[in-house]
Chain A
Amino acid sequence: MVAHAETIPKRHHPLLAFAARWLFTTNHKEIGTLYLWLSFLLFFIAGGMAMVIRLELFQPGIQFAQPEFYNQVLTLHGLIMVFGAVMPAFVGLANWMIPLMIGAPDMALPRMNNFSFWILPFAFALLLSSLFMEGGAPNFGWTFYAPLSTTYGPPSTDFFILGVHLMGISSIMGAINIIVTIVNLRAPGMTFMKMPLFVWTWFITAFLLIMVMPVLAGVVTMMLTDRHFGTSFFQAAGGGDPVLFQHIFWFFGHPEVYIMILPGFGIASQIIPTFSRKKLFGYDSMVYATAAIAFLSFIVWGHHMFTTGMPFVAEMFFMIATMLIAVPTGVKVFNWVATMWRGSITFETPMLFAIGFVMMFTIGGFSGLMLALVPADFQYHDTFFVVAHFHYVLYPGAIFGTMAAVYYWLPKWCGHMYDERLGKIHFWSATIAVNMTFFPMHFSGLAGMPRRIPDYSLQFADFNMVSSIGAGVLGLTQVFFLYIVIKTIRAGARAKARVWEGAEGLEWEVPSPAPLHTWNTPPVITEGQAH
């Protein structure tokens, strides 16, 4: 984004110099930029797949995608959105902002940082290339339940397994880097309980990543040995158990969904105080609530499996543990409202996205609470109600959170203000489209529409048509977002160092655009300053 002549190694050809700069960079800001662009690209690829899905579901009958191809698109949409769009976007934000926010000159492990990014393009190239292979891409959903993915998986499943390993290694290295940076590189006086909430949520998220990504790696390794080396972890024939797969997968999978939302909580906790011109309400309880959510995420995995024939006692345990998550999550939402309370609020685009995040994430949280009730879950499970639920927490949650962060910090990154009018148009059109896409899914699910089907009976037609129209509009609004971002990078009003008048934090003490090297002399945080 920002040209920094002094770092460009001497090369004869400018293209070579350009490639070398980005390939070999160890600068946290440049790597952050790379992460953000990669996730943006993958967001559009997986979004394009969502368009294929919605196009096929626009009407009953098979029009555009044969069932086999539909399943492949569905699988890649989920995998790429989770591992390619949401997670790298958050890692990118962490790379850019954490050193700035804690007064560190760079990440603690810069070369590992470079490596963990450059694995990713290969991982996703591998995954996407499976679309063109004999037998097609993986077609078993992003949850890849055995034995559909083991015994019955297409040949490309092995490429999928390798791709997952690469993504996992990248995420683990990224997470290690973030923890080591936070522990070792905080500026003098920046105690843990003075860290900005975004740093705190990422600190906890990084621990979740280090603890669950290896479990994912383990489960795909077991798949690989089941497929090729004669083991039977998941095959009843050899004494294994397909349900074991689900237990291990969801032991990874549930913390994973919090990995995709906790940094979003951090972002909302930065933005809402700024535009309310008031300190974050209940900082301590925000930290504890985040830690509580992270802890609980390890003991609720069974709520994804209520219909697998679990005994009563296990169902009760997972139901109650799941309901408990509502308590710390509620604390967070109440704290955000209390932060706004009697503030002096303005509604710039980042604030709009943050408020949209809080509200619509809460709707997703509500449906999550309903899903925890085991008897009702028997009716909701694997229907579009679940699809509505997790898209409400992920789209207006994780993705709106990321967009709020981009509008909030983009002036700091590139030194230009975005066009406020365009930002507002983007927010309102995206909000309307998001609700139009995902709200009717609650109804089609309650009416009995199973998820992951390319074709459906006539009673679901109206809801699906609304969803599909909404999805088309939603896709366009994100193309518009791309336009806004590019426009801002190229030109715009000059941004001040403290971009937002109510903003607090070290990132606003460096000039905009942030120079390539910041905080070479660490700032000193005095007693009075906090988060």
Chain B
Amino acid sequence: MTSYAGGLKSGLTFLILWGLPHFALAAKIDMRPGVTEMSVRIQQIHHMGLWVCVVVGIIVFGAMFYTMFAHRRSRNPTPATFSHSTPVEFVWTLIPVLILVGMAVPTTITLRDIEDNRDSDMTVLVTASQWKWRYEYLDSGISYYSNIATPQEQIDNLEPKDEHYLLDVDHPLVLPTNRKIRFLTTADDVIHSWWVPDFAVKQDAIPGFINEAWTEIPEPGIYRGQCTELCGKGHAYMPIVVEVRPEAEFDKWIEDQLLAANLAGEAAVAARAKTWSMEELVPQGEAVFVKHCVTCHQRDGMGQGSKYPALVGSPITTGPIPDHLNRVMNGKANTEMQAWAPQLSDLDIAAVITYERNNWGNDTGDVIQPVTVYEAR
């Protein structure tokens, strides 16, 4: 008995148990070709590496299997006595060198093209924070946050998981086809990494520094990826969804966004003009709290240890209103508490603060108006 049988057996077990029910096995176990020119070229490099390894593997393992079979004691009772051979050793040092040079050349050419960020048609600034992405179109000034859209109930196995479990966001990144798009990546807190496999773009987002990458997508469609650098407990929950639209549709989308930003501005003005009641603010505040705050502070407001403080009876949520506003709007340095002022509307901030100050036994009775938030901006 020899060890190759071990690999073979487990391979076969794997194939029989799991491979056969799936058609197109190769497509399932291979690196995906993706949709861009670069992702296809990278897949080719992957295939080159793979096949070199397979061929060398067949030769080396073949020699091992052969010697294990032919030179076992029952067939070859008297061992040979040779213990070195300079020509043979020279040859098997030289041949790998030649193979490696052969692999390095096409790899270098592709790498040079990947690193060529010049002459882009548009730039998107990708800012990572725990645990969401923010996209800013530098050419038109549009920016928004992109949060995971998978409900917590699905993660906790209380509801069936849908097709795009963990790979769904509220606001996807929208990009045009056939334009060279430059990504600038940076981060607010820890290192994250922005990866869309179909574009073969993976770039670390490093706090205080910017990095560049680029892509050009020929096909409209929806492409999904994930954060690939451990960034804390929500690392699994910061997906990336990119919606690629034909150029004309994309330009229309940009116009719509600019218009919507205006409308949102008008809505904010209207919200400021009105005096809101506790009954109006609390349900809305609860919705905001559930969406953005429960990961750390928990549904019952009790937090989790000293790292994620309890909001029940805390000096912030029951103390002076300006401090509460400041903490929610600007976050706390060097902690996971981020600045919510750029992410939420005046009304949402007013609502969530009102909710926090009048829930779980906090009974300040304070009602915070959107106009107060506006003035604090």
Contact = CB atoms under 8 A, between A and B. Distances in A.
B264 interface: no
B306 A134 contact: yes
B10 A446 contact: no
Given A327-B100, A448-B32, A439 B79 contact: no
B45 A283 contact: no
A135 B306 contact: yes
A284, A327, A352 interface centre (most CB from chain B within 10 Å): A327
Interface in A124-165: 134-136, 139-141, 145, 147-148, 151-152, 154-155
B147 to A, nearest CB: 16
A436 B13 contact: yes
Nearest to B56: A366
A374 to B, nearest CB: 5
A290 interface: no
B291 interface: no
Interface in B108-153: 108, 110-112, 114-115
A308 B154 CA distance: 33
B297 to A, nearest CB: 14
Given A61-B161, A151-B334, A280 B7 contact: no
A376 B45 contact: yes
Nearest to A336: B64
Contact of B89 (A151, A282, A358): A282
Interface stretch (B172-180, B196-204, B275-283, B321-329): B196-204
B79 A278 contact: yes
Given A242-B207, A341-B80, 9 more contacts: A135-B306, A236-B208, A308-B206, A312-B111, A337-B60, A347-B68, A366-B53, A375-B45, A453-B226
Given A243-B209, A340-B71, A359-B4, A326 B161 contact: no
B191 interface: yes
Contacts of B112: 312
Query: Sorted from nearest, which 10 A-B pairs have the closest CB atoms?
Result: A236-B208, A431-B6, A309-B211, A453-B236, A366-B53, A435-B10, A342-B80, A370-B49, A279-B83, A382-B228
Contact of B97 (A139, A327, A455): A327
A337 B64 contact: yes
Interface stretch (B163-171, B254-262, B338-346, B350-358): B163-171
B211 A432 contact: no
A379 B227 contact: no
Interface in A318-334: 319-320, 323-324, 326-327, 330-331, 333-334
A32 interface: no
Contact of A347 (B2, B32, B201, B225): B2
A340 B64 contact: yes
Contacts of A509: none
Contact of A382 (B10, B39, B229): B229
Interface residues of A, number: 113
Interface in B1-28: 1-4, 6-7, 9-11, 13-14, 17-18, 22, 28
Interface in A367-393: 367, 369-370, 373-376, 378-379, 381-383
Nearest to A63: B157
Contacts of B72: 344-347
Contacts, number: 328
Interface string B201-230: 111101111011000000000000111111
A525 interface: no
Interface residues of B, number: 113
A304 B71 CA distance: 41
A412 to B, nearest CB: 22
A456 interface: yes
Contacts of A67: 233-237
Nearest to B99: A326
A457 interface: yes
B80 to A, nearest CB: 4
A206 B4 CA distance: 33
A277 interface: yes
A482 interface: no
A370 B197 CA distance: 17
Nearest to A469: B17
Given A333-B60, A456-B166, A376 B49 contact: yes
B30 interface: yes
Nearest to B114: A375
14 contacts: A67-B235, A147-B207, A236-B209, A279-B83, A307-B203, A344-B77, A352-B1, A359-B3, A370-B53, A378-B201, A424-B1, A451-B228, A456-B166, A466-B17
A285 B89 contact: yes
Contacts of A352: 1, 3
Contacts of A457: 164-167
B204 A309 contact: yes
Nearest to B189: A152
B107 A383 contact: no
A237 to B, nearest CB: 7
A308 B211 contact: yes
A458 B165 contact: yes
Contacts of A340: 64, 67-68, 71
A323 B79 contact: no
Contacts of B201: 378
Contact of A466 (B18, B30, B89, B107): B18
A340 B1 CA distance: 15
A218 B5 CA distance: 46
A222 interface: no
A241 interface: yes
A514 to B, nearest CB: 28
A443 interface: yes
A277 B79 contact: yes
Interface in B273-314: 304-307
